[in-house]
Structure 1
Amino acid sequence: MLEFNKLSKKLLTKLRALNLKPWDLIRLGWTVKELIQFLFFDE
């Protein structure tokens, strides 16, 4: 659990450096998810 906390802190620091907002990350996550579904699960 401690490792996870360290990782998330590192991630948050990087996000602040990039000036990203949490909702940007969420939107990016959704985009990636859609892309993966499109690439791999679209028949």
Structure 2
Amino acid sequence: MKNVLRIILLLALLFIGSKVLFSDFSLEKPENKTMAVVKK
């Protein structure tokens, strides 16, 4: 059971982390930044 709980906690942390990262990226509009980096 401990392993299952650890996996669930890890998945929850990853999910929350990705949500926070994507919300930050959407605020910063990363498309322009990535395009600028690619053009360089």
- Scaled by the length of structure 1, the TM-score of the pair is 0.48
Which protein, 1 or 2, shows the higher relative CO under an 8 Å CA cutoff with sep ≥ 6?
1
Instruction: Name segments (4+ residues, structure 1) moved above 3 Å.
Output: none
Percentage identity across paired residues of the two chains: 17
Unaligned runs of 5+ in 2: 27-40
Unaligned runs of 5+ in 1: 1-19
* Higher radius of gyration, 1 or 2: 2
1:41 deviation in Å? Answer: 1.6
Note if 1:38 corresponds to 2:38: no
* Structure number having the greater helix percentage: 2
Give the CA RMSD over aligned residues. 1.5
In the TM superposition, what whole-angstrom CA distance separates every residue of 1:1-39 from its partner, at most 9, and x where no partner exists? Answer: xxxxxxxxxxxxxxxxxxx61000000000000000000
- Scaled by the length of structure 2, the TM-score of the pair is 0.51
